[in-house]
Amino acid sequence: MHAVTAISPTYAGRLNQPPVICLRKGALRMSEWTPAQGRAVYNTDRSMVVAAGAGSGKTRVLVGRYIHLLESGLAGLDEIVAITFTEKAATEMKGRVWSAIVQRQAEAEARGEESERWRDLSRRLAGQARISTIHSFCARLIRDYPLEAGVDPHFAVLEPLDARKLISQASMEAIDDLIRSGDRNMQRLIADFGVSRVAGGIAQVYEKARGTGRPFHEFARTSASNIRRCAGIARQSLAGEWGDIAAALVSAGVDEDLLGALDWDSPRFIDEFLELHSTAQPVRKVVTQTELNKIRERVQETAANWIHADMMAATVDTIVEACSRLDAAYLRLRGDGAAIDFTGLELAARNLLRDTDAGERVRRQIKYVMVDEYQDTNSLQNEIVMFLVGDPPGNRLFIVGDVKQSIYGFRGAEVEVFRGAMDRAGGSGGHVGLENLGKNFRSIDPLVELTNTVFSGTLQEIWSEDADAFRSMPETSSPRTELHVVTHGKSELPSASLAEADLVASRIARMVEDGEQLVCEHDRETGELVGTRPVRYRDIAVLLRTTSRLESFEAALDRRNVPYYVVDGRGFYGRPEVAWIMNMLRAVDDPFDDAALAAVLRHPVFGLSDESLLRLALAGSVSQAFSGAVAAGDEWGGGAEEGAKLARAQECMESLRQLAGRLSPDEMIQAILEATWFEPYLALTADGPKAIGNVAKLVDMAREASRSALAVREFIEMIELAATDDAREAEAALVEEEADVVTVMTVHKSKGLEFPVVIVPELNRATGRRNWPLFEFAAEMGIAVPISPEMRCRDTIFGSEVVDELKCAEDEESMRCLYVASTRASDYLVLTSTLKASCDLASLDEAPEWLGPYGQAVGAALARGAAVDGASEVAASIEVAPGPGAVLDRLDGAEAADEAEKEIQHIVPLGPGGKSSMLVRMVPLASYVWDPGEEAAGQGQIEPGARAGNWPDVIPESEFRLVGPVEAMADIDDPFQVSVSALMCLDRCPRWYVYEYVLGLSRVQGSLIAPSFGEEVEVRLNAAQRGSVVHHVCQWARDEKHAKALLGKQLYQVYGLRGDALASAEEELWPLICNYLVSPEASADGRREQAFLLDLGAAVVSGIADYIAIDDDKSGTVVDLKSNRLNEEGIELAARDYRTQMDAYALAAHRGLGAERVTAVLNFLHPNARVALEYGAEELAEAEERLRQLAERAGRCSLESTEPELSRHCRVCYYSRMCWPGKEDIGAPLLLDDWHEVEPEPGVEGDGALIDVGLGEEIE
């Protein structure tokens, strides 16, 4: 046991002080914390469970406790394990810890105190700190103890896709073993469902069961017990109804004696009952045929639960045995442990900590364990943590999480794990502390009050207490939330969905172009509102539930000339043309796959309406009704036009199904293309050439699969595995931070991020399961199996219980996902939806899906008699103009619509505090006027940041798109993305690149460090901020008067400079802006602040060019503004440093805009000098090769592969002290700002006066 360290009296006396927010970024002092945060950081006398709501500063608390453990001497770097659940989070935490350590060092030096300890920690942090993901921790642990863990010391870690392929192969081998051994249950499964489907089902059960860390046979016992229990329920239920059933059948002519003689325990009970039931005849006014049919179905389905109970249990035993054999085959395929997948890492680490002496040694070495995002753990990962800290945990464990943000159930996360930890802490009698961080520092109080109002009911089972907002707003402020609902009639959903996408795009365009004051600025110490600023494109994020309708939103944003960036888009496997072909393969291969068939029929190739699909579904299952439907005449009833579509689809599917089992995957796809004329259809679409190229790529993949002797079903499974890996919610590289573009991403990818303005569309979109698996698995209930091909798992009582439990968990997670989406907004929230309903507020109360919680909040407000203001009444009361009130304008043409089709707009007060009012706007589809052309065409430059027009209409498909929208590449499976700034850094110093871009260590800016703690901080801009101001003004300034106004606005509104600080900054920056205004590009036409992506094969280079212009003779000019200060002698060296940047910009102009010759100009605004580089065909080819080599090198760089290199750049490097400890004359003092001129030192490479030439001010 480790000594228990009590909290010091000094700290204890300060825990209840009011929160003080320090102005100095990176500092971690007691006065910064709220009482709850302070207790979480400094109470080290016990283990702690911290429930941290959205925006509550949990990462700061985690870092704060980490630093406190180091500062107080309770532990060293290698005695603390900090676990996160993404690489990005681990890198961010390392960066924050490093910044705090360097901050401590700088403050100690400023006070003249000993700083060597902090200096030593900063040097050792990258190599010794145990801050990593759970999988990295497990890998390191078992590499340290390979013999005890029973693994190959040189094992490789399998990527998920490779692991799934091997599991699929092992599943086939396990089935083959069981068939050879004569297992009758496996033979029946194969006969009923086919070998590929059974193998896929077993593989799914195996992965889920293995991920629990429990023996497989446990699930067989659990399943058998629940199957028997449900059999008893079924028998008891039918027995209670039997009197009425028998009476009805006897009245229909069934022999009463034979009915009474039925043996309920006989395996033939159902068959004998059906024989008797067949003699029943309907009797008018006594029993109808419909009633007789219901009796037959009820008895048949209910009796199956006990008649086939033994068969179901035996089938589960066979599946469990198959999992055991699969596990052995999988081990062999992995080289008997030469390769280990992620679950294998966790199992090996758990077993080592639990079962070996090495586990005890590890526990003695580790003093403290800290885990972030604990709501995203599963039971196996929880075991690892518990075995790591030991029992009892004493004061060793610190876990942080939020049950409301547990949204990764599809990855195996179990919200019950963190809920259990909270319950145990609450019932521990104080032995384990439970702290709730209820202060929200992210969102303004109207949004916090809205969240409390909406989700305290929706998430009431896990809602602990309402959050409290730090950022306040006046009581009279206008609504900070909008809800737009496009209402539609029957069969109008497709049009309503398109209208919703257009509504989102037009709302974004309007709020930016009108300069709506949506972004609030608050006093850092008090949280009081001090001002607002106009919203920019980069302030806005559109968060989608899924990417299935991504193309609709992309098209709408294009129409409205809104620049946007799709974060880690759907990729190749998510493209609609690929998805449709895969659905065709599924529908042909499996005639009972309703989801695939419905998707195929609804596609424009066949074009069945939603009403026709509903007609098929109501007639039974879609697949059965489709096969038996008569396309014309009374039996169909869907009309002649729909009947003709159905007949064509039936003819096509019948001809293709006759080929099933006889063609290879590539041959089947070719048959589908020929039968459906799919490629000619694609040729007429907007993305025709690219779509056809994707189809060709899929055919090539199918051809490769055919060479490996894969059947169609196996090819489908292979693509599904690849698509699952492609769609993993991994960390996505964002577009450069300074790019003025709207961010489009899924809600899952937005977790951990925040945006001033968030738009959440498709609230009413269902996101249930697309394909039901053959077998259902729930860890606490067991494995459910189908009885026959005609019955699914959920058709038995046990199966329905399993499915209901899974569905309930999915529904609860969906609501948590909505909570995450809503809490990403810091200043403004826009919600949109479609709704099949009448156009009134009352219709929202019963709305389904994500619209439900907000609709219920509106309904509750109406029920309690809240005063609801009409739009016309409140429009005049909105004080900020132009602002959110602009949205209150009616859509064009609404006045001409019928009264029933006019839109309704109201402001509804929702929360008890009176601040969380919502603008509710219900727009009938009939009143929606489509006029994207007028808004999209002819827009000039609008400050701030509107996108310039006149992009080329056609860009060669062989080239990557340069111009908006800035989008992810669909034809690269896993591109490495790197910015131009990062490549410049790598070119200067590989070790600098590793520190900043690989390890993510934060820069330490001089302007952020005060002379001593507690003194007032001088407000002044650092080089990066000054460069940003200069670039913004130069981008939008038309003349000196306009430039002067923009400069003052930026310094005053954006950076908060006042008085002497403002005057000093203006005096310093104005000469640079004047130098720009007399330059040729200031008055010339061209593209400014143009974002681009360059495809270099396995890497994508991103950047932003200040200015690009293309002349009629295909000559191009690229200009980059440099606002850092140089002596004249230093310009040559600076130009050499910027060569990588100029290469990228020239190549972007060549590829994206067709420039055959490019002049790349470096415009040094101080001392007003220009350096030009000429690029012809040969130079462009050389530039591309240089960039390619740099990008490939960047992908391989690590701390181990680089060494410190002494150069002139060391003198301005933020991390030079880590490379050259003790050489104070080499590194520029960290307390100095990087704006000053620096004379060269003897012995340093290079000559001429040169300062930090641009990395501090680049905004790539």
97-120 pLDDT per residue, tens: 988 888 888 888 888 888 888 888
pLDDT at 730: 36
Residue where a domain terminates, one of 1145, 1177, 1196:
1196
Please indicate, yes or no, whether residues 909 and 766 belong to a single structural domain of this protein.
yes
C-alpha to C-alpha distance for 486 and 832, rounded to whole angstroms: 8
Question: Which pLDDT band, with edges at 50, 70 and 90, does 1002 fall under?
Answer: low
CATH number for 402: 3.40.50.300
The verdict on residue 2 lying in a domain is no
pLDDT at 555: 87
The verdict on residue 461 lying in a domain is no
* pLDDT above 90 coverage of the chain, percent: 39
Give the CA distances from residue 1016 to residues 24, 105, 528, 1009, in Å, rounded to whole numbers and listed in that order. 10, 19, 19, 10
DSSP for 666-677, please give it.
Answer: HHHHHHHHHHHT
The verdict on residue 1260 lying in a domain is no
Q: How many domains is the chain built from?
A: 5
Please indicate, yes or no, whether residues 897 and 806 belong to a single structural domain of this protein.
yes
Cβ-Cβ contacts under 8 Å for 1131 (sequence gap 6 or more): 1164, 1169, 1171
924-961 pLDDT per residue, tens: 888 776 544 333 333 333 232 222 222 223 323 333 33
Question: Which pLDDT band, with edges at 50, 70 and 90, does 1105 fall under?
Answer: confident
Residue where a domain terminates, one of 1196, 1218, 1241:
1196
3-state secondary structure 752-820: CCCEEEEEECCCCCCCCCCCCCCCEEECCCEEECCCCCCCCHHHCHHHHHHHHHHHHHHHHHHHHHHHH
Whole domain around residue 838: which residue ranges?
468-569+737-775+788-936
Please indicate, yes or no, whether residues 802 and 931 belong to a single structural domain of this protein.
yes
CATH number for 1126: 3.90.320.10
Q: Which two tokens stand for residue 226?
A: 């629940």
pLDDT at 324: 97
Higher-confidence residue of 840 and 212: namely 212
The verdict on residue 962 lying in a domain is no
Please indicate, yes or no, whether residues 26 and 112 belong to a single structural domain of this protein.
yes
Cα angle for residues 373, 375, 377 (degrees, 5° grid): 85
pLDDT at 647: 86
Q: How many residues in the chain? A: 1260
Please indicate, yes or no, whether residues 534 and 588 belong to a single structural domain of this protein.
no
Please indicate, yes or no, whether residues 392 and 481 belong to a single structural domain of this protein.
no
Please indicate, yes or no, whether residues 695 and 810 belong to a single structural domain of this protein.
no
Q: Classify residue 6 by its DSSP letter.
A: P
pLDDT at 1243: 31
C-alpha to C-alpha distance for 1088 and 428, rounded to whole angstroms: 61
pLDDT at 136: 93
pLDDT at 1027: 81
Question: Can the peptide bond before residue 965 be classed as cis, meaning omega within 30 degrees of 0?
Answer: yes
Across all residues in the chain, what is the average pLDDT? 80
Higher-confidence residue of 1090 and 175: namely 175
560-593 pLDDT per residue, tens: 888 888 886 556 777 788 889 999 998 898 887 8
Q: Per-residue pLDDT for 1184 more than 50?
A: yes
Please indicate, yes or no, whether residues 770 and 917 belong to a single structural domain of this protein.
yes
C-alpha to C-alpha distance for 23 and 718, rounded to whole angstroms: 54
Please indicate, yes or no, whether residues 1025 and 1146 belong to a single structural domain of this protein.
yes
Q: Per-residue pLDDT for 771 more than 90?
A: no
Please indicate, yes or no, whether residues 387 and 512 belong to a single structural domain of this protein.
no
The verdict on residue 1208 lying in a domain is no
Q: Per-residue pLDDT for 1140 more than 50?
A: yes
The verdict on residue 444 lying in a domain is no
Per mean pLDDT, which range of 148-157, 729-738, 829-838, 904-913 is the poorest? Answer: 729-738
DSSP for 867-908, please give it.
Answer: --EEHHHHGGG--SSSSGGGGGSPPTTGGGS-GGGS-EEEEE
Q: Which two tokens stand for residue 987?
A: 């070119």
Per mean pLDDT, which range of 502-506, 863-867, 1029-1033, 1199-1203 is the poorest? Answer: 863-867
Higher-confidence residue of 655 and 1010: namely 655
Please indicate, yes or no, whether residues 769 and 886 belong to a single structural domain of this protein.
yes
The H or E element containing residue 841 is: none
pLDDT at 867: 59
Position 257, amino acid: D
pLDDT at 839: 61
In 3D, which of 318, 380, 330 has the Cα closest to residue 351? 380
Phi-psi region of 366 (alpha: psi -120 to 50; beta: other; left: phi over 0): beta
In 3D, which of 952, 1060, 984, 997 has the Cα closest to residue 1253? 984
Per mean pLDDT, which range of 66-75, 555-564, 1238-1247 is the poorest? Answer: 1238-1247
Q: Which two tokens stand for residue 1178?
A: 């040969």
CATH number for 672: 1.10.486.10
pLDDT at 910: 85
Question: Which pLDDT band, with edges at 50, 70 and 90, does 1158 fall under?
Answer: very high
Question: Which pLDDT band, with edges at 50, 70 and 90, does 816 fall under?
Answer: very high
Question: Which pLDDT band, with edges at 50, 70 and 90, does 25 fall under?
Answer: very low
1059-1069 pLDDT per residue, tens: 777 888 888 89
- Would you say 61 and 50 are in contact if contact means Cβ atoms under 8 Å apart? yes
* pLDDT above 70 coverage of the chain, percent: 81
783-809 pLDDT per residue, tens: 999 988 888 888 899 999 999 999 999
pLDDT at 109: 86
The verdict on residue 446 lying in a domain is no
pLDDT at 19: 32
pLDDT at 1034: 85
Residue where a domain terminates, one of 333, 365, 387:
333
The verdict on residue 451 lying in a domain is no
pLDDT at 930: 59
Question: Which pLDDT band, with edges at 50, 70 and 90, does 516 fall under?
Answer: very high
Please indicate, yes or no, whether residues 984 and 1070 belong to a single structural domain of this protein.
yes
Helices H / strands E in the chain, number of each: 46, 29
pLDDT at 476: 62
Higher-confidence residue of 688 and 1131: namely 1131
pLDDT at 387: 95
Average pLDDT in the 844-852 region?
87
Q: Which two tokens stand for residue 634?
A: 């009374």
